Structure 1
Amino acid sequence: MNLEISKTVEKHSTVLTLKGEVDVYTAPKLKEELYSLLRISNHKVIIDLSEVEYMDSTGLGVFIGGLKASKQHQSHLTLRNVTPRLDRLFSITGFAEVVAISRGGKSR
């Protein structure tokens, strides 16, 4: 039940690298960090999920809300380095159809 969030800021984008678990206990920390960035117009937020070991429905809810916030504030949300387990979760729920997912430099 631990989540580390590291942030790399560039000119018009921020990369959040997550490590650990995104669940009911850690989601508020992620939500606060993510939503504050998505409120910046024309800002691109990239979430690196390569080191996320587990995500529950609360974590998925943070990303769904983040996508809504990005549309409201004309910012951009991209997920990258999605693990097979998370890719399956995003596919089953239909989230993969509405969010940009980048693998190896390519988005879908």
Structure 2
Amino acid sequence: MSGAAMTARQQADGATVMDVRGSLDVTTVDALRATILDALHRDRPRLMILDLTLVTFMDSTGIGLLAGGHQSARDQGTRFVVRNPSEFVHRQLRLTGLAGMLGLCSTSGPPAWRI
């Protein structure tokens, strides 16, 4: 996969944290989606956290990835949240109305939900 990478780690409390790096765009979302779905179905975490600290770009397909990941997690009873997005990514999530759904403050400023 070029342009993005994702690593997963389990926390002692049962949460899965996925650290995402690079761009969330049309060239990367399919592989990232597969990684998210695999972790959801294999690990069945009570909470899945996507840490976007190192995400440098996100287009509409990245937004779709986050919305779809949220829906897949919800369907199996897993809470799905995003943490540490750049201001660019956070602004896109606010504009699309997804910030609150993904555990972020829907107004400008730092995310309300942090771990």
TM-score (norm 2): 0.82
Q: Which has the higher strand share?
A: 1
* Number of the residue aligned with 1:62: 65
Q: Secondary structure at the match of 2:62?
A: helix
Question: 1:1-108 maps to which residues of 2 (within 5 A)?
Answer: 2-11=3-12, 12-39=14-41, 40-101=43-104, 106-107=112-113
Report the RMSD for the aligned CA atoms in angstroms: 2.0
Shift of 1:43: 2.5
Rounded to whole Å, the distance in 1 between the matches of 2:79 and 2:28 is 23
Cα shift readout 1:45-74 (whole Å, capped 9, x = no counterpart): 111101100011111101111111111100
Return structure 1 stretches of 4+ with deviation > 6 angstroms. Answer: none
Q: Which runs of 5+ in 2 are unaligned?
A: none
Identity of aligned residues (%): 25
Residues 16-56 of structure 1: CA deviation (Å, up to 9, x unaligned): 11111110010011101112223354531111101100011
* TM-score (norm. length: structure 1): 0.87
Alignment: residue pair count = 107
